[in-house]
Structures are given as C-alpha cells and as structure tokens.
Amino acid sequence: MAKKIKIFIDPGHGGSDPGAVANGLREKDLTLAIAKALKKYLEQFEGIEVRLSREDDRFLSLAERTRLANEWGADIFISIHINAGGGTGFETFVFTNASSKSVAYQNVIHEEIMKVMGVTDRGKKRANFAVLRTSRMPAILTENLFIDRASDAAKLKDPTFISYVAKGHGEGIVKVFGLKRKSNTSSPANKPTVSRPNPSNQSKPSQPAASKPSTGNSKPSGDPYVRNIQQFVNSYGFSIAVDGIAGPKTMRALIMVLQTELNKQFARGLTVDGIFGPRTRAALANLRAETRGNLTRVLQAFLYIIGFNPGPFDGVFGDMTTTAVRSFQRARRLSVDGIVGPQTWSALLG
Ligand SMILES: [Zn+2]
C-alpha cells in the first residue's frame, strides 16, 4: 500500500483577522471559499489526504498554521490569499531560500492557475513570509487578484471564477504529484468540461477571461534555459515534456541523469530511480572549478532552477558557475568554498 500524499491547504486570515477588505469583500471569506472548493476538487483523486488549517471563520496565528502542517507531516503546504494595494493579477511566492522542491512545485502550480485564470501574470516570486519560512515541507503562497481593484473584485464576486481558481490550484497539485482520478467517481459538479451533447457550441462553458491553454503550436513555451535542460535530460533516453517549466518531473529526471553519470563515471552501481536517497548521497562526486562534463551540467541545471545563475548551460565549471555556487552556499549558510561536496549537493537536491 503506497503511503498517502498529505496536502495541507491554508486559507489565509480568519476570525478577528479579516485580511484585506474592499469592494464589499473580505479576504478571509474568499480564501476559505477557494480552500473548500479546492478540497472538494481534490476529492476526485486517489492516494491523497487533504487537510485545511481552518474549515470555518476562526482566528489562527501564523505559527499555529505551520505547526499543524508540520505535526501532520504534510507533503505540501499551500497558503491561499487575496492581494491588496492597488495592483492587478496573480502571483505566487516561495521562501527566500526555498528548496528546489518548493521551486519545482511553484513552477507547476503557478502555470496551472494562470491557465484557468487568464489574468495578468505578476510572476513567481520569493519572500520571507512566516508560513513559508517555518513550514518543513515544500510551501507556496498564492495571491489571487486584488480585492481593492474593482475589475479584480468583480471576478472574485463570481462563484464560477472562484471555482476556477480552486480548479487551477487543484490541477497544479494533481500535476505535481501525478495524481490519478478515482475510478468510481465521475463527479460532474467538479468537472464542467465533461462532454455534453451540444453540437451547436464547441466552446467550453464559462471559462473565465481570454487566455486559453497553449495548444502546442508556434511559440515555444516557458523558460528557454529550462527547455535546454529538458532537452539535455531527454538525450539520456527520457521523454519529459520540453515545456520550459521546471517541475517535479524535470527534477526527478535530472536526478536520474545524475545517477546515470555516477554509474558511468565512477561505477557506483546505483539504481536509476530519480530519488535522492542515502545511497545516491553517499555516491556523489565533488565538483570544483575547472571540472567539466555532464555532472557539471546537472549542477548548473539545479543552480539555475532554484534561482542562482550559473552562466551558460555548457558543463564547464567556470567563473559564473563558481559565483553561483558561492552565492548558494552563502544563502544556505554552508561553508562558502565554491566546491560542490556532499553538503552542497544535498542542499541543492533536497
Ligand atoms: Zn492575506
């Protein structure tokens, strides 16, 4: 029996803390509505448990929220908020020194939510928010439109839009963990796009706003550097999507490349399973300036994905890669020597 994946959803604010208030809306009500709809959406999938930090209108401190998730041993912490301050659109956050897993989850969830929202993309960001800093699992925080912008508020007042926001979060989580739909349910309430006999109208019912998911034509998607990484991975015979989005599949495939190279170059005899466990950890080789080759490429890939620019993706451990390694070591409070030994590797891949 596989262990269930634990998904912790944190509707921001509550009780005496309404969050942002404007245009007749309160942030605490919207975050709870999205969280509940998200839980309901996820109930269509198997192999998971879902918990909310609150199921009703009550106050919880920030520390209490992460304590609940940490004690439960959640596999992901996702905090839902509504923005304020005069902007417009959608943005997500991970912690300033986020783990590579957090960044991978953010990349996928952000994209999936953007697909259904069709609003201004304010970007994938980092911040020293308490719930992101103190949660011991990959954690992301979403800011879903601006309550004090009339056009955003109008969308937030529409229950259909709220259900799409929830669906976007849900589809991101489904993609991150590769969840499978339960075979016995065909819950039509949660799946508005199931085929209905309606020959006169081919369009999807009430998809909010303009942006349609890309149908794979013309313009390549995502980050070109990440596409190079994905092409490199596929040169090993894997077949991950070259979509420029560095999600968990890309991370896992990179670890498989790492294992393959360790076997090839050092006869380590590792199982190529994409899991960074104790055996792979013990088999790692040190990398330092002037090293070159595909292990250095794997290093450059991880550095880039978590936000430290190693220069060109060329497998050469030159000045830019050294600078990136040193910045990473400084950020993680490791000894800053520019050498990628077991500690630095573990911090990068963990
Ligand atoms: Zn908030």
Query: Is 189 inside any structural domain?
Result: no
Query: Is 321 inside any structural domain?
Result: yes
Mean pLDDT estimate for the chain: 90
CB 348 within 8 A of CB 302: yes
Query: Both 26 and 151 in a single domain?
Result: yes
pLDDT tens digits for range 94-138: 999 899 999 999 999 999 999 999 899 999 999 999 999 999 999
Ligand 1 centroid to 84 CA: how many Å? 8
Ligand 1 centroid to 206 CA: how many Å? 27
Query: Both 9 and 155 in a single domain?
Result: yes
Token pair belonging to 13: 């604010």
Residue 178's contacts (CB-CB under 8 Å, 6 or more residues apart) are none
Ligand 1 centroid to 43 CA: how many Å? 25
Query: Both 22 and 171 in a single domain?
Result: yes
Task: Determine the Cα–Cα distance for residues 303 and 46; give it in Å rounded to an integer.
Answer: 34
Task: Determine the Cα–Cα distance for residues 147 and 100; give it in Å rounded to an integer.
Answer: 31
Query: Both 36 and 116 in a single domain?
Result: yes
Residue 349's contacts (CB-CB under 8 Å, 6 or more residues apart) are 100, 255, 258, 276, 302
Which of these is catalytic: 27, 111, 112, 143?
A: 143
pLDDT tens digits for range 15-73: 999 999 999 999 999 999 999 999 999 999 999 999 999 999 999 999 999 999 999 99
**Catalytic (active site) residue 49:** no
CB 93 within 8 A of CB 144: no
Query: Is 330 inside any structural domain?
Result: yes
pLDDT at residue 210 is higher than 60: no
Using DSSP's 3-state secondary structure scheme, residue 48 falls into strand
Ligand 1 centroid to 14 CA: how many Å? 10
Radius of gyration of the chain measured on its C-alpha atoms: 21
Ligand 1 centroid to 76 CA: how many Å? 19
The count of domains in the chain is: 2
Query: Both 157 and 236 in a single domain?
Result: no
Q: What is the largest CA-CA distance in the chain?
A: 66
Query: Is 196 inside any structural domain?
Result: no
Task: Determine the Cα–Cα distance for residues 177 and 252; give it in Å rounded to an integer.
Answer: 12
Confidence bin at 203 (pLDDT 50/70/90): very low
pLDDT tens digits for range 138-189: 999 999 999 999 999 999 999 999 999 999 999 999 999 999 999 875 544 4
Rounded to whole angstroms, what are the CA distances from 237 to 200, 233, 247, 263, 266?
44, 8, 19, 16, 20
Query: Both 49 and 158 in a single domain?
Result: yes
Using DSSP's 3-state secondary structure scheme, residue 147 falls into coil
Using DSSP's 3-state secondary structure scheme, residue 141 falls into strand
Token pair belonging to 349: 């891949």
Query: Both 173 and 231 in a single domain?
Result: no
Query: Both 15 and 120 in a single domain?
Result: yes
**Which domain-ending residue is among 145, 160, 177?**
177
Residue 51 domain boundaries? 5-177
Question: The domain spanning residue 305 has which CATH number?
Answer: 1.10.101.10
Here the contacts of 211-219 (C-beta below 8 Å, separation 24 or greater) are 211/114, 211/115, 211/117, 211/118, 212/118, 213/115
Ligand 1 centroid to 83 CA: how many Å? 6
pLDDT at residue 331 is higher than 60: yes
Query: Both 19 and 158 in a single domain?
Result: yes
Task: Determine the Cα–Cα distance for residues 143 and 92; give it in Å rounded to an integer.
Answer: 6
How confident is the model over 287-316, as a mean pLDDT?
Answer: 93
Question: The domain spanning residue 18 has which CATH number?
Answer: 3.40.630.40
Query: Both 171 and 257 in a single domain?
Result: no
Q: Which residues share a beta bridge with 9?
A: 52, 78
Query: Is 229 inside any structural domain?
Result: yes
Query: Is 154 inside any structural domain?
Result: yes
CB 222 within 8 A of CB 244: yes
Rounded to whole angstroms, what are the CA distances from 14 to 19, 21, 53, 81, 161?
7, 12, 10, 11, 21
Ligand 1 centroid to 36 CA: how many Å? 17
Query: Both 43 and 166 in a single domain?
Result: yes
Query: Both 120 and 234 in a single domain?
Result: no
**Which domain-ending residue is among 149, 177, 205?**
177
Query: Is 93 inside any structural domain?
Result: yes
Ligand 1 centroid to 198 CA: how many Å? 41
**Strands 76-83, 139-146: pairing kind:** parallel
Q: Which residues share a beta bridge with 91?
A: 123, 143
Query: Is 200 inside any structural domain?
Result: no
**Which domain-ending residue is among 121, 150, 177?**
177
pTM attached to this predicted model: 0.80
